[in-house]
Structure 1
């Protein structure tokens, strides 16, 4: 399998839905790539900078965390570093002005409309966006603004599904659905939700395919049990045993003490 380029992604628009996952660990990225995921993304932070090179056969996106960058120069510097680090595109949740700057330099940008978590106060908190006429018009305007700025894709987060479908049909950008229905060009989930690592609230838009939280709980019980056995072996003198050590020859040992 060869990594999909931005050109490939855009050519898939309207032909098939793409699968896209957000990961937080290298092993998740590798597993997603082995599974045949079309797109993999993660936040561009130092401890994840090597992820892209671990999955060269999958389109990899580094996200520019909202709030990290004070100005356009800072985000451009990080975006360029991300591209040199193996990314084929970057996510940027900032304004069309910043997206335009990145696009002018040839950086493929995924923009973001609808529920943008750090900006949720503007849309009434963590809830669906685009269910009223005013909100729908605003979402559509934002999409057009990002398209004009040069973004090649737009993440639509928890946007009314029928609105997202109509927008998909009216924009040249690749549309990515996070809780915005099946009418978009790509479906997007966070690995933590997909694998069932969360405890408590699970987003309505997420589908859980495994119960890793329960497995982690089981492993924690096993850790405690193993540590207890280790302590008991030390206390009873069972550990270390002959198989765990090496010895010097007895004659040589006696010679150590000779002057």
Structure 2
């Protein structure tokens, strides 16, 4: 998958499948499943690193996890988030940060939250040859300013503002746009008006594609799950049960057994046992 094939997906009416992943094992599985785009999201702060929000994630964190995901991806287009305050201070700082994600991390595109002055950053990154995915609606990096994790664009003024921002990001050079937690009708309107594909998360079925965090869809997250998530497996429950069985087997001394063990040559084992005045371990 390339930027060109993602754009062609919209023209051909073929939904774009994106998954957010943060490490080599899950990236390999997602790639093998045939997803089109893999996003190394700064949501790794919440999902993997245990932070209360994404604002704690550093550029070094993002480079580290992008490198890990890169090693598991052969087919999908790899996108990485620019974390908090790496693209707000200046265009030069944004270019340096994006350059690290591409050069060190192996990303093929970067994603930025917001619009307004961000559109200038999108334009400069695109000019520098770094493809950009935009992100509108709920912006996790600005969750405090937005008043929490709530749907965006519900009134007419907000809806029109988001529509204008979407058009501005497209004009600035973004090749795709993530819409997070916006009303279905607004997402559909933005999708119809843009030439670039929209990728929804909590934005309804009318977007050109969808993205979910791999831990959410596999049932590996705990606590309250957003209504836009569909659980395709309950691996968290299965993992907990497996760990409980393992702990019980160790405590009951039913694991490990001889089949999980390695052995010395019989004569060596016997000599060691003779020195201790007992029988070889396997015969005790």
TM-score in same-fold range (> 0.5): yes
d(CA) in 2 for partners of 1:93 and 1:227?
Answer: 48
TM-score (norm 2): 0.77
| Match in the other structure for 1:127 | 150
d(CA) in 2 for partners of 1:185 and 1:159?
Answer: 15
CA apart distance, 1:248: 7.9
Does 2:128 match 1:110? Answer: no
Structure 1, residues 109-166: CA drift from partner, whole Å, max 9, x if none? 0111111112134443211111210110111121122122221111100111111111
Return closer, same or farther for 1:50/1:199 CA change in 2, 3 Å cut-off.
closer
Q: How does 1:154-169 map to 2 (within 5 A)?
A: 154-169=177-192
2:202 aligned residue (164, 179, 201): 179
CA apart distance, 1:56: 1.6
Does 2:79 match 1:61? Answer: yes
| Match in the other structure for 1:257 | none
Does 2:95 match 1:76? Answer: yes
| Match in the other structure for 2:27 | 29
1:52 aligned residue (70, 76, 82): 70
- 2:143 is paired with a residue whose SS is helix
Q: CA RMSD in A?
A: 2.8
Return closer, same or farther for 1:213/1:173 CA change in 2, 3 Å cut-off.
same
Does 2:224 match 1:201? Answer: yes
Does 2:87 match 1:89? Answer: no
Does 2:169 match 1:146? Answer: yes
d(CA) in 2 for partners of 1:92 and 1:243?
Answer: 53
Q: Would you say how many aligned residue pairs link Structure 1 and Structure 2?
A: 245
d(CA) in 2 for partners of 1:72 and 1:137?
Answer: 27
Aligned partners of 2:179 and 2:200 also within 8 Å: yes
Gapped regions of structure 1 (runs ≥ 5): 255-259
CA apart distance, 1:233: 8.8
| Match in the other structure for 2:246 | 223
